[in-house]
Amino acid sequence: MRSRIAPMWDIARSATFAGRLHWNTMPGTFITFEGLDGSGKTTQIKRLAAWLEERGRNVVLTRNPGGTALGERIRGILLDSRTEAATGAITPKAELALMFADRAQSIAEIIKPALAEDKIVLCDRYTDSSEAYQGGGRELGSATILAAHKTICDGFQPSLTILLLPPLAASLARARRRNDRTTHHTGTDENRFEREGDTFYTRIYDAYKTIAAREPQRVVAIEDDASIDEIQKIIQAIVANRLDL
């Protein structure tokens, strides 16, 4: 195990200098988590938040889509597999526009105010998800998403993105295992994306690989298919290095 993890410590070290080259000039630190459905990022982000809080850091945990009142409503529309029975098919561009409407609200209401107060903002998904899912999965192409990001988000980027991307076969199996995201007691349904097939998820996986190769200073990809505890240790090492913990 040690030998598999060792390269990640090198990545953590090499990411330290590059992390200073970010676009965010506010006092706080903006970190995003990315990956395919079922990549375990929600568990990891919560554990990282607890770990940072134990070290006296002020953490704000949020997600895209969601987080704000408007965003949670948009999330309901986007993720509920029953939406299209009522609305008809959602076009890829309408889907993209809703993702960015959510994000604009999230930046204005949660992310920027928290960064201005010197907090650490951990966001479960951000624009890389739009590039991977709508750009790759829905085949709108990266240029469309990057242009929307520039216009709607003023190009505002995290200083660090943790990308959980185990090998494709394992990623596909996990995405499939999440095929029934129905919460019976609340009646919510978040299955619209999970209904997609392997080719859709393969395009997302490839798009994430392309983003990581294009922006190695910002994006740290964890490609190990290790346990939750092992991955958390790697994430903590990367973040500790960035934040000088």
Site for ligand TMP contains 64 (CB under 6 A)? yes
Nearer to ligand TMP, 14 or 83 (CB): 83
63 lies in the site for ligand TMP, by CB under 6 A: yes
Closest approach of Cβ 21 to ligand TMP, in Å?
24
110 token code pair = 């949660």
Regarding 37 and contact with ligand TMP (CB under 6 A), the answer is yes
Side by side, which strands form the sheet with 160-164? Answer: 59-63, 120-124, 29-35, 160-164, 219-222
82, two tokens: 């029953």
CA 104 to CA 128: how far, in whole Å?
Answer: 15
One of 65, 135, 136, 158 touching ligand TMP (CB under 6 A): 65
User: What is the closest distance, in whole angstroms, from the C-beta atom of residue 51 to ligand TMP in the complex?
Assistant: 21
Which residue from 30, 193, 201, 205 is in contact with ligand TMP, where contact means CB under 6 A? 193
Examine residue 62 and tell whether it contacts ligand TMP (CB under 6 A). no
E strand segments, 25-115:
29-35, 59-63
How far apart are the C-alpha atoms of 245 and 239, rounded to whole Å? 8
Q: Which of 44, 130, 159, 171 binds ligand TMP (CB under 6 A)?
A: 130
| Cα–Cα dist 137/206, whole Å | 9
**How is residue 195 written in tokens?**
């209904």
Site of interaction with ligand TMP (CB under 6 A): 37, 63-65, 79, 99, 124-125, 129-130, 133-134, 193
